[in-house]
Structure 1
C-alpha cells in the first residue's frame, strides 16, 4: 500500500494536471500525508469484507488507502471534475474494479444507489456539512455497522460529548440515537493542502439499534426544541413544542424528568422517554409510525 499512496508532490502535480484549485465553498482540504492515511485506515478497524462509503474523496489520498483494506469502496464526490478524475488516479495505483464513484451530493443519496451495500463510513468530511452528512447517512443506510470520520476538532468534540459537557448538544444526542461514538485522535493542520486554520479530530462510532421503540422524528423534535433555548429549563424550552409550559411540565414528569432540568443534562434515552410520553398523550407535532433506522432520513 505504501507505494500507492499520494504524497505532497503527487497531490500538487495531480491538482495542477486537473486544473483543480481547492474551494472553501466545498470545504476542500486534501490530505497529502501518507502516514495520516495509514493512521485513519488502521483506526477505522476495517475487515477484508467491509464495503466502505467515502464522502468527498477529493484527489484520492484516502481512497487509495481504503482500497487496500476493504472489499469495495463507494466514493461520493460532489465536484464533477474530481469525480471524473478519481478512477483514472486509482487505476494507476490500485485495483480500480474495487471502486465505484458516485458524482452526487452526499446529503441527497439514498440506499438504492449503493451496490454492494456499505458497511462502514470512512471519510475526511468537509467541515461545513460534516454533521448533516453523518446524520443523513446513518438515517439512510441501515447496513452501516460503524465508521470513522475526520472533522473539525470542535465538531469532533461535540459529536462525542456526553450529558453535562459544555459542548453537549444536538449533534451529540442525535448521533447517540444511532451509534456509540468516541474520540479517536487529533489530526494537525500540516497534513492538509491547503492548510486549514484549525485542528481536525477523528470520531469513531459503532452503530446500534434505536434506544427505544419511538419514532425518530418525534425524538429529534424534542431534542431540537430542548437545545434551541439551552439556557432555559426544559419546562420553558419545551413550551412551544408541547403547547404550553404546563403541558411541557406534565410530560416531563410523566417521563421521570425534572421540569427544572436543562437539555444538556439529558441522555438520548431520556429524550426518547419524553417523546414516548408525548405520543401517549397525543402531543408532539408530526408523528410517524416507525422509529427504525430504516425510516426515511430526516434531521
Structure 2
C-alpha cells in the first residue's frame, strides 16, 4: 500500500481541478449535477470510511476529473470508473498516467450512463464508492445494488437531505421510499457530514456520506419488485391510512385490509410506521392464496 504522504502527491487540489477543467473546456453542469471535489482531505476521508482494501474492486460512478479516483487507486485492486461525459471519460486515464502512473493498470473506464449500465468488466465490483450527482443519487445506488449483487459495501457522498432519508428509520419525519428500498439491500447509516467548500463549484446545500453494508434481504419468498410496489403505493398517499393508501395496490380497500391483517399490521397505521420487514411481510401476504 502507498502511505499517505506519497499518496498525497498524486491528489488533485483546487488549482489542478480548475486547470483540467479549463483544458477540457468543461463547465460543471446542473444537468448532470456536477460538483468536483477540490479538497484532498475529503477524498482521503471517503476512502477511509469506505473500508476498502487491496482485494476490493471499486465501481466509482461519476469520477469527474479524478479527485476520488486518484485517492482510491493506490488502496484497491481495481477501480471501474463509470462516466457519462465522453470528455471526462477520455481524460481520466491521462490524468492518472500523469499523476500516478504506477497504478494506471488498476483503472478501467466505462463511458456509459450509470443508470443503464448492466455489465461491468471482470472482476466484478465488491464496493461502490462515489461522489454522486445529486439529481440521480438514489436511483444510482439502488440500481447498482440490484444489478450487481457482488457489491458488498457502499460509501457515497450525496446531498445531506438525501443521505438522511436513506439512513432514516421508521417513524422519522424523513423516512420514506428511499429509506425502505435501501434497507432491503443493506444496513444503512449516515457516516459523516460534509460542508460546501470542498466542492467546485460550491453547491447551495451540504452533503452527507452514506455507508451501506449489504445483507440478506428480509425475505426470500417474495421478489423485491413486489415489495417495492407495495412501498411505492404506501408512500404515494402517505397521509392516508394503509387500508386506503394500498387500495389500488391490493385491488380494493377490503383486499388491502385483508393483506394487512394477515401480515399482522394494523390497517389504520400509515406507511412511515412500517419497517422493511413489515413491507416484505405485507407483500408476501398479498401474494399468498386467500383462505376465503
TM-score (norm 2): 0.95
Q: Does 1:27 align with 2:27?
A: no
Q: Does 1:252 align with 2:260?
A: yes
Q: What is the DSSP-based 3-state SS (H/G/I as helix, E as strand, rest coil) of the residue aligned with 1:230?
A: coil
Counterpart among 144, 151, 163 of residue 156 in structure 1: 163
1:93 to partner: Cα distance: 1.6
Q: Does 1:227 align with 2:246?
A: no
Q: What is the aligned length?
A: 281
Deviations 1:152-193 (A, max 9, x none): 000000000000000000000000000000111111010000
Cα RMSD of the aligned pairs, angstroms, is 0.7
Counting only pairs closer than 5 Å after superposition, residues 30-179 of structure 1 correspond to structure 2 as 30-94=36-100, 95-110=103-118, 112-179=119-186
**Cα distance in 2 for residues equivalent to 1:165 and 1:231:** 14
Q: Does 1:11 align with 2:11?
A: no
Gaps of 5+ in 1: 283-299
Counting only pairs closer than 5 Å after superposition, residues 169-208 of structure 1 correspond to structure 2 as 169-208=176-215
The aligned residue for residue 248 of structure 2 is 240
**Cα distance in 2 for residues equivalent to 1:199 and 1:113:** 31
Q: What is the DSSP-based 3-state SS (H/G/I as helix, E as strand, rest coil) of the residue aligned with 1:114?
A: coil
**Cα distance in 1 for residues equivalent to 2:120 and 2:206:** 33
Deviations 1:54-87 (A, max 9, x none): 0000000000001021110000000000000000
1:210 to partner: Cα distance: 1.2
Q: What is the DSSP-based 3-state SS (H/G/I as helix, E as strand, rest coil) of the residue aligned with 1:129?
A: helix
TM-score (norm 1): 0.93
The aligned residue for residue 218 of structure 2 is 211
**Cα distance in 1 for residues equivalent to 2:267 and 2:165:** 25
**Cα distance in 2 for residues equivalent to 1:84 and 1:115:** 20
**Cα distance in 2 for residues equivalent to 1:48 and 1:150:** 22
Counterpart among 241, 255, 280 of residue 272 in structure 1: 280
Gaps of 5+ in 2: 1-6
Give the 4+ runs in structure 1 shifted more than 6 A: none
Q: What is the DSSP-based 3-state SS (H/G/I as helix, E as strand, rest coil) of the residue aligned with 1:107?
A: coil
**Cα distance in 2 for residues equivalent to 1:257 and 1:195:** 45
